[in-house]
Each structure stands twice: as C-alpha cells, then as structure tokens.
Amino acid sequence: MTGYAAGDVRVTNCYTGGHVPPYHLAVKFLALFLALLLAGGSAWPQQGRRHDGKQQRQMREEERQRLRDDMREVYRERGERPERPRQMTDAEREKLRRDIDETNRQMRRK
C-alpha cells in the first residue's frame, strides 16, 4: 500500500470496487425508518397505562372496605360470626399425623 502512512487502514467494498451504488443510501434510510416505526409502535399501547400506583392501591383499598362491609351485613343477617376452630390437643395432633402416615403408606402400595 503505497501512499498511506503506517497504521492507516483503507476500507473498500470488495463487491463494488470502492464504488457505492446510490440505492445503498435509500436502503439505509428505509431500514432506519422501519426501526423507528417499530420502536414507536410498541410505545403507543403503553400510553394509556400511565396510572398512578397510589390510585390503583386506593381502588383496592376501597374494594376491600366494600367486602368488609358486605361480610358484616351477612353476619348481622345470620346473627352470629363463624366459630373459630379450636386448637388441637397434642394427642389429637399425633393421631392425625399417624392417620395421614398410614393413608400415605396405603396409597403407595396401590
């Protein structure tokens, strides 16, 4: 390579011998336009989703309060609250554990 300083690199298009056809520029612009169009198209549906997180949380709190009120009304109509299950004794818990173990063994045999 004569005429170039040391370290200079000459890049050529090996298919055209250094000549770039004019349609390459049009193809580059078309590719850029399509990339921008696709990138912008995915952002359009997201525009309607810009809700404040606090507003969504407030809606959930309102719904919870409405459900609580509904349950209070049901309890008033029934005249009582549902009974809480009592704590199992150690003997009952042990019997339940043995029954479950026995049932599991029987299921494995089948």
**What does the pLDDT profile of the chain (110 residues) look like in tens digits?**
455 566 666 666 566 566 666 667 788 889 998 888 888 766 666 655 555 556 556 668 888 888 889 888 887 777 766 677 889 899 999 999 999 999 999 999 87
Close Cβ partners of 20 (under 8 Å, ≥ 6 residues apart): 13
Query: pLDDT above 70 covers what percent of the chain?
Result: 59
**Model pTM score:** 0.27
Q: Are 81 and 75 in contact (CB under 8 A)?
A: yes
- Cα–Cα distance, 39 to 54 (Å, whole number): 29
